[in-house]
Amino acid sequence: MPARRKARKRALDVLYEADLRDLPPRKVLAGYLERIVQPRPDHLEYTIGLVEGVATHLDRIDELIASYAEGWTLPRMPVVDRNLARIAVYELLYVPEIDDPVAITEAVELAKQMSTDDSPRFLNGLLGRIAEFASR
């Protein structure tokens, strides 16, 4: 598994736990970092950047997701989908070195592995609409 995909998976783990336990993502991240043994994995810095970035911009990210998720509210979305969307929207808006199709594809691929059968199509459509908005 490529390093950035591992980073996204770890960021998803942290954001998922924070979401389920209703804790700040940075608090869950701190606990995650305490459990890591040396040597630190290569993907760790990108994981930290994703979690910190989502935490910093969470209100704007959630506003966009809620606006473009046709027929879905944030609380109704599966927790995995909601947090994959958050990671991808953060990358779409705030990580210029990640191309939009890469951010979308990575979210879709993780959804195929970790969520419902409908999740990849849902995320692809949602993220495509947000990417189109962001490119204007």
Residue 37: pLDDT above 90? no
Question: In angstroms, rounded to a whole number, what is the distance separating the alpha carbons of residues 132 and 89?
Answer: 12
The CATH number for 3-134, chosen from 3.40.50.720, 1.10.940.10, 1.20.1090.10, 3.40.50.300, is 1.10.940.10
**Planar angle of CA 25, 36, 53, nearest 5 degrees:** 30
pLDDT at 1: 66
Provide the CB-side half-sphere exposure for 94 (13 A, CA): 17
Instruction: Mention every residue, 6+ apart, whose C-beta is less than 8 A from residue 118.
Output: none
**39 token code pair:** 């040597």
Residue 38: pLDDT above 80? no
Domain spans, the chain: 3-134
Provide the CB-side half-sphere exposure for 108 (13 A, CA): 15
H or E element: which one contains 78? none
CB 88 within 8 A of CB 123: yes
Question: In angstroms, rounded to a whole number, what is the distance separating the alpha carbons of residues 11 and 84?
Answer: 9
Residue 136: pLDDT above 80? no
Q: Which residue has the tokens 């996204």?
A: 8
Question: In angstroms, rounded to a whole number, what is the distance separating the alpha carbons of residues 114 and 89?
Answer: 18
Residue 118: pLDDT above 80? yes
Instruction: Mention every residue, 6+ apart, whose C-beta is less than 8 A from residue 87.
Output: 8, 11, 12, 15, 50, 54, 107
